[in-house]
């Protein structure tokens, strides 16, 4: 009747793949890579990046990645800075591809929902590389090839290259990424 709201308007669904797809299996990644993307996006992203880059030959192991120093809430630490950059990049991707109302609903109305959808963008990127298509409602357009992912890869690489020294030398200082300075001057 009049004034009735669509019950689907309040539903959010995130699924690992389409009904006709098989979940990816990669020994470099957690068994449930989709859930890991949603819950520990930085570490999963770094593992995935490393498994696909030349860094895997430079002694960057998943054990090192699991020991990345810092706290997600402290921007002056490697983990915190990566979290900050990841948020900026995924928000930028979403801003670029979503209608404004949907962006506001998913990325600005609720902190938990925003975090899940940011992480979903990562899941889509990683799963797409394994020929898998995560599904969401509301439906999001594909973002796995968005050019901003290259900026994420660069930030990840810059951090990972410092990791062996940071973990072995207590006097070593973390060199922050030039990401924000570069984006501001672009």
- Token pair listed for 176: 């922050």
How confident is the model at residue 165, as a pLDDT? 94
> Which structural domain, as residue segments, surrounds residue 87?
12-185
Grade residue 1 by pLDDT with cuts at 50, 70 and 90: low
**What's the confidence (pLDDT) of residue 2?**
56
Percent of the chain with pLDDT over 90: 74
Residue 127 belongs to a domain: yes
Provide φ and ψ at 80, rounded to 5°.
-65, -40
Give a yes or no: residue 4 inside a domain.
no
Q: Across all residues in the chain, what is the average pLDDT?
A: 91
Phi, psi of 150 (to 5 degrees): -65, -35
Q: Is residue 106 part of a domain?
A: yes
The gap from C-alpha 178 to its chain's centroid, in whole angstroms, comes to 19
In a domain, 81, yes or no: yes
pLDDT in tens, 136-176: 999 999 999 999 999 999 999 999 999 999 999 989 999 99
d(C-alpha 127, C-alpha 14), whole Å: 13
This prediction has a pTM of: 0.91
Q: What is the pLDDT of residue 26?
A: 82
Provide the domain count of the chain. 1
């Amino acid at each position: 009747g009049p004034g009735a709201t669509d019950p689907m308007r309040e539903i959010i669904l995130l699924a690992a793949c389409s009904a006709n797809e098989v979940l990816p299996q990669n020994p470099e990644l957690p068994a449930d890579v989709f859930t890991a993307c949603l819950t520990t996006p930085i570490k999963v992203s770094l593992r995935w990046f490393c498994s696909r880059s030349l860094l895997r030959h430079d002694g960057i192991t998943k054990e090192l990645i699991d020991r990345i120093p810092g706290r997600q809430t402290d921007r002056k630490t490697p983990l915190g800075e990566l979290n900050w950059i990841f948020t900026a990049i995924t928000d930028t991707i979403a801003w670029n591809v979503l209608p404004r109302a949907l962006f506001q609903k998913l990325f600005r109305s609720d902190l938990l929902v925003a975090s899940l959808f940011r992480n979903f963008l990562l899941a889509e990127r990683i799963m797409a590389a394994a020929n898998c298509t995560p599904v969401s409602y509301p439906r999001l357009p594909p973002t796995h090839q968005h050019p901003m992912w290259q900026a994420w890869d660069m930030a990840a690489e810059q951090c990972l290259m410092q990791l062996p020294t940071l973990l072995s030398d207590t006097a070593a200082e973390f060199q922050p990424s030039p990401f924000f300075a570069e984006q501001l001057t672009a």
